[in-house]
Amino acid sequence: MPTTAPRLIRSIRLLDAAEARIASEFTAPPPPQSPLATDALLALAHEYQPTAMLVTHMTPLRATDIAALPECVKLVATVSVGLDHLDLAALHARGITVSNTPDVLTDCNADLSMMLILAASRRAAEYFTLVKTGWTRPLGLGDMLGHRVTGKRLGIVGMGRIGQAVARRARGFDMEILYHNRSRLPPEHEAGATYYAQLEDMLPQCDILTLHAPAQSSGAPLMDERTLSLLPRGAVLVNAARGKLVDESALMNALRSGHLAGAGLDVYQTEPNPNPELVAMPNVFTTPHTGSATVETRTAMCMLALDNVAALAAGRPLPSRVTP
């Protein structure tokens, strides 16, 4: 291995194809057997003196952690789109470049969102439980009826890459697309969707609401008792974006009262230990934060993170640099 190969450390073992690339193109210690805590990653950085660090949301870097990094670290490459686990201001203040992995996970996140929409609307969690625990009699004509997705009004909060990809899939179900975004999209990107500048104006029109926005800077939930009450009775809520977007106590109340017919959730306020009362509700379909969890997408995320390390070492523009 040439001594000029870029030096890196990672907080977690990457997928096999990416690990093979590290062995071929980079100088790195063996991959960790389990995800490293932040203090263990900092200790490894001082021991190994890398130019770049690859991290995920499981290893947050806050201001005090960043202040403790050795001077050799020039890049923090997160194998994620989200940046909530990084103090960007502190990293940039130290002159450390940051990269993430957008675009490559758009389709898989949109696929999962459609799965949540279908599963929550068609009572998939209840059907699964019934068959697994003992389906002993035929269902009557009016038993365990879900709601049709085809032709419904789908409200999308956050019409970025993933929101637009969900809209494309929903059009295959002849759904009417409504959306709320910080700004209106150009007509060619709207593709006939109806824009609402105010979320409160859109919510009463939504049969199904799906969230694809970042967490609010205030930390307050976007969907709380007030905003949930604006949805029509019998609506479905889907969240595959950020757990902080939803007040889970208010959500449970809306589900118990029947104001909401169901919910499809991939993210939660507390992970990896979501509220057991919430996930046990029969009309909640749950997945464990797996929007990007396919071989193809996770491999592409790892490779894009390594592309950023290689570009930094070669003095080229980074393919997915996060600007201050």
DSSP 8-class letter at 84? T
CA nearest neighbour of 154 among 200, 227, 209, 230: 209
Average pLDDT over residues 188-197: 96
Candidates 3.40.50.720, 3.40.50.1820, 3.10.450.230, 3.40.50.11540; correct CATH number of 8-104+295-314? 3.40.50.720
Number of H helices, E strands in the chain: 13, 11
Cα separation, 51 vs 42, in Å, equals 13
**pLDDT for 25 beyond 80:** yes
Lowest mean pLDDT among 174-183, 196-205, 209-218: 209-218
Instruction: Identify the band that residue 2 occupies on the pLDDT scale cut at 50, 70 and 90.
Output: very low
Average pLDDT over residues 240-247: 96
Average pLDDT over residues 163-186: 97
Cα separation, 109 vs 212, in Å, equals 10
Cα separation, 137 vs 140, in Å, equals 9
Task: Supply the pTM of this predicted model.
Answer: 0.91
Where are the chain's structural domains? 8-104+295-314, 106-286
Whether the domain at 8-104+295-314 and the domain at 106-286 fall into the same CATH topology: yes
Q: What is the CATH number of domain 106-286?
A: 3.40.50.720
Is-contact 52 27, C-beta < 8 A?
A: no
**pLDDT for 82 beyond 90:** no
CA nearest neighbour of 239 among 272, 218, 264, 207: 264
Helical H segments across 135-194, by residue range: 161-171, 187-190
Cβ atoms within 10 Å, residue 303: 18
Catalytic residues: 242, 271, 289
**pLDDT for 1 beyond 60:** no
